[in-house]
């Protein structure tokens, strides 16, 4: 009988609580079972009992990293229901914050990956760069984590110092291009730990509905900023990095290149920002009906479904987060890998259990 090694729900190798049971043959992992739900808060249930204003604050707490994703997607679902057009300036601001959050998320993840790899200097560099993004988000929103920027019909605050935003984006792009991308792509330590490790094939990614950088690192060029553009993405010039290897290194490279693309997007969004209002006015009452909304979060597509009966409380709210789709693919990635590789492989999807468990 092969030994079963339980990791988690609370373990130094895990960022958040979940459990992975590894069925091993010596040092080799043969299969894995994943258990989630340790953070379950029944947020969909709660959202169906609170009014739309309360729900906006509630969904921002789905995740501590991509909180803006949730208010943006929820707001867009309500805008679809109510037929609200968001002013152009507000769309620019939304894109700036959306991409800054992607920078924050990817740099946080890159730092954690560097730490798991055992590359402490790289970890320090990533986190010092991430600090610049946190400062940017704080300067724009007043908050470092839950920014409370979005509301149905627009945003709550204007960008008062656009030059600071542009300068930060340029600085991050320069450091990424000059220092971090070469290290992440060519350093022997990184390559030894990541190349050919934890492969998810293109067909597996498709069958399991993988999203975001996980899918793009397995050769699926899906990014709804391109395929179903929202806000002003159809007016912006940016690339969607795609790799075909499907391994941990490919996931690192995709995210690293996405950081540079996000900086390009922020620069364009700030420089092209028109004058005008930043919200369309009161969004209430929300008419009866149902609507879906999707946005491309740092970890992949976030999906919201909202059904309204015309009252101030939704009758159904469905939230599908990207890690909810990506997490099951870890069981495929760890097969026939070494036990020592599991912490890095599971981290390579940039998992968020707060998002998953909702």
Partner 1 sequence: MGPDEILARLGVTEQWEVRGDGRWVYAPGMDVRAMARLMLEIEVRWVTLTVSPAAEGGFRLLYHWDLDGSLLTIAVSVPGTRAETVSDICPAADWAEREARDYYALEFAGRKGMPTLMLRPEDDPGLFSRTSELGRHEDPADSARLDGGGDAQ
CA distances in angstroms from 5 to 19, 26, 342, listed in the order given: 10, 11, 11
Instruction: Output the smallest distance, CB 296 to partner 1, in A.
Output: 11
Q: Would you say 218 and 200 are in contact if contact means Cβ atoms under 8 Å apart?
A: yes
Closest Cα to residue 52, out of 35, 31, 71? Answer: 71
Residue 70's nearest CA partner among 130, 146, 126, 17 is 146
Q: Report the relative pairing of strands 19-25 and 289-297 from DSSP bridges.
A: unpaired
Rounded-to-integer distance, Cα 286 and Cα 244, Å: 44
- Which of 17, 28, 30, 46 touches partner 1 (CB under 8 A)? 46
Residue among 3 and 83 whose Cβ is closer to partner 1: 83
Query: Where does this chain touch partner 1 (CB under 8 A) — which range of 19-27, 59-67, 151-159, 285-293?
Result: 285-293
Q: Say whether residue 37 binds partner 1 (CB under 8 A).
A: yes
Site string for partner 1, 80-99 (x = CB under 8 A): x-------------------
Query: Which of 358, 294, 296 has its CA nearest to residue 80?
Result: 294
Cα distance between the two ends of the chain: 36
Residue 272: both structure tokens together: 């092209």
DSSP 190-246: HHHHHTT-S---HHHHHHTT--HHHHHTTT----HHHHS--TTGGGS-------SS-
Is 45 a binding residue for partner 1 by CB under 8 A? The answer is yes
Classify residue 75 by burial, with Cβ atoms within 10 Å: 0-12, 13-18, 19+: buried
In the region spanning residues 211 to 250, those forming contacts with partner 1, defined by CB under 8 A, are 222, 224, 226-228
Instruction: Choose the stretch contacting partner 1; rule: CB under 8 A; options: 45-53, 97-105, 264-272, 340-348.
Output: 45-53
Nearest-approach distance from CB 316 to partner 1, in angstroms? 5
Closest residue by Cα to residue 219 from 207, 202, 231, 240: 202
- Tell me 146's DSSP state: -
Would you count residue 335 as binding partner 1 (CB under 8 A)? no
Give the contact letters, 339-358, x = binds to partner 1 (CB under 8 A), - = no: ------------------x-
Among 318, 335, 338, 339, binds partner 1 (CB under 8 A): 318
Instruction: List the x/- string, 118-157, binding to partner 1 by CB under 8 A.
Output: ----------------------------------------
Closest separation in Å from C-beta 124 to partner 1: 36
Of 207, 218, 226, nearest to 251 (Cα)? Answer: 218
Size of the site for partner 1 (CB under 8 A): 36
Rule CB under 8 A: which of 162-181 touch partner 1? none
Query: CB-wise, 140 or 319, nearer to partner 1?
Result: 319
> Applying CB under 8 A, which of residues 9, 17, 277, 328 lies at the interface with partner 1?
328
Examine residue 307 and tell whether it contacts partner 1 (CB under 8 A): yes
Least distance in angstroms from the C-beta of 352 to partner 1: 15
Contacts with partner 1, residue ranges (CB under 8 A)? 36-37, 40, 42, 44-46, 49, 77, 80, 206-209, 222, 224, 226-228, 291-294, 301, 303, 305, 307, 315-316, 318, 320, 324-325, 327-328, 357
């Amino acid at each position: 009988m092969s030994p079963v090694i339980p990791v988690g729900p609370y373990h130094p190798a895990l960022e958040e609580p979940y459990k992975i049971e590894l069925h091993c043959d010596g040092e080799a992992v043969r299969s894995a079972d994943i258990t989630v739900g340790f953070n379950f808060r029944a947020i969909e249930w709660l959202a169906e009992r609170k009014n739309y204003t309360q729900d906006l604050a509630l969904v921002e707490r789905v995740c501590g990293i991509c909180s803006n994703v949730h208010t943006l997607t929820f707001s867009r679902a309500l805008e679809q229901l109510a037929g609200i057009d968001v002013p152009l300036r507000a769309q620019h601001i939304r894109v700036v914050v959306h991409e800054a959050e992607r920078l924050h998320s990817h740099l946080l993840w890159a730092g954690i990956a560097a730490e798991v790899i055992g590359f402490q200097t790289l970890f320090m560099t990533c986190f010092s760069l991430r600090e610049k993004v946190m400062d940017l988000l704080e300067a724009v929103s007043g908050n470092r984590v839950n920014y409370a920027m979005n509301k149905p019909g627009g945003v709550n605050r204007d960008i008062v110092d656009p030059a600071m935003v542009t300068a930060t984006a340029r600085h991050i792009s320069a450091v990424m291009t000059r220092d971090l991308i070469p290290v992440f792509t060519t350093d022997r330590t990184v390559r030894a730990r990541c190349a050919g490790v934890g492969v998810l094939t293109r067909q597996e990614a498709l069958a399991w509905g993988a999203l975001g950088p996980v899918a793009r690192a397995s050769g699926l060029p899906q990014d709804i900023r391109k395929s179903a553009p929202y806000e002003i993405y159809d007016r912006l010039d940016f690339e969607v990095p795609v790799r075909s290897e499907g391994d941990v290194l490919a996931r690192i490279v995709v995210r690293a290149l996405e950081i540079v693309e996000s900086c390009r997007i922020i620069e364009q969004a700030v420089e092209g920002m028109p004058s005008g209002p930043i919200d369309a006015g009161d969004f209430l009452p929300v008419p009866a009906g149902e609507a879906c909304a999707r946005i491309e979060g740092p970890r992949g597509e976030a999906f919201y479904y909202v059904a309204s009966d015309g009252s101030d409380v939704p009758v159904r709210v469905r939230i599908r987060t990207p890690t909810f789709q990506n997490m099951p693919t870890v069981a495929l990635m760890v097969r026939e890998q070494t036990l020592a590789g599991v912490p890095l492989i599971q981290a390579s999807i940039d998992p968020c259990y707060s998002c998953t468990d909702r």
